[in-house]
Amino acid sequence: MYSALNRVNALAAFSLSALTVLTFMCYGSTVFKDSTRPVSIGAANIILKNVPDYVVSRDKNDLGVLRFDLNADFTPIFNWNVKQLYVYLIAEYTSASNDINQVILWDRILLRGLDNSVLNLRNENLKYYFWDDGHGLLGNNNVTLKLAWNIIPNAGQLPLWSGIGSYRLSFPEKYTATH
């Protein structure tokens, strides 16, 4: 006859196998779901400063300051395999020193079950500095603001999604005088 230890081992192995199958089914049920969403982005009060970067060197670098508007509804993305969303606003542009620059300007974590899945931000300040490692923002008329998000699931991979919609802004040809 089997001992109690053998029976506990068999029960644990069966339970682990069943949980593994259920986890893969959870992942498989949502892996092909499209999580793109339309977003509306706007910007205003665009200021460009030329300030010293004391961390790396004493050279002066560009610092962009702006306020933004953002509308996005993430309610359809939340399903039973989504724990939370990490949502962030990206500024993307080209400069003489780099072919592509991407700077995260703002971010937020949206949790499932809370009533914060609809973003309706007006005249919002940037959360992080908009630094350029040189003078790539001066007179740059090809800076694009985009919204992207990572889905943090209960089971499976961490997909990256981007919003449908962006906003193109232009920085001034001259630096704003600081007082």
Domain that holds residue 13: 1-32
Q: Are residues 44 and 108 part of one domain?
A: yes
- Number of helical (H) and strand (E) elements in the chain, helices listed first: 1, 8
- Render pLDDT for 25-57 as a digit per residue (tens, 0 to 9): 888 877 788 889 999 999 999 999 988 877 666
What CA–CA distance (Å, rounded) separates 171 from 139? 5
Q: Are residues 154 and 81 part of one domain?
A: yes
- Render pLDDT for 87-103 as a digit per residue (tens, 0 to 9): 999 999 998 888 999 99
Q: Are residues 19 and 62 part of one domain?
A: no
36, 39, 120, 155 from 71: Cα distances, Å: 14, 6, 5, 29
Q: Report the predicted TM-score, pTM, of the whole model to 2 decimal places.
A: 0.85
Q: Are residues 73 and 13 part of one domain?
A: no
* Tokens of residue 46, six digits: 């665009």
Q: Are residues 8 and 64 part of one domain?
A: no
Mean pLDDT value of segment 150-166: 92
What are the backbone dihedrals phi and psi of residue 131, each rounded to the nearest 5 degrees, phi first?
A: -90, 145
Q: If 0-12 CB within 10 Å is exposed, 13-18 middle and 19+ buried, where does residue 121 land?
A: middle
Q: Are residues 119 and 70 part of one domain?
A: yes
The H-assigned helical ranges of the chain are: 4-30
Q: What percent of the chain has pLDDT over 70?
A: 96
- Render pLDDT for 57-69 as a digit per residue (tens, 0 to 9): 667 889 999 999 9
What CA–CA distance (Å, rounded) separates 50 from 64? 9
pLDDT at 46: 92
Q: Are residues 85 and 73 part of one domain?
A: yes
Whether 28 is covered by a domain: the verdict is: yes
- Asked whether the beta carbons of 148 and 158 are under 8 A apart, the reply is no
- Asked whether the beta carbons of 141 and 64 are under 8 A apart, the reply is no
pLDDT at 179: 55
Q: Are residues 160 and 129 part of one domain?
A: yes
Q: Quote the Cα angle for 88-93-97, to 5°.
A: 125
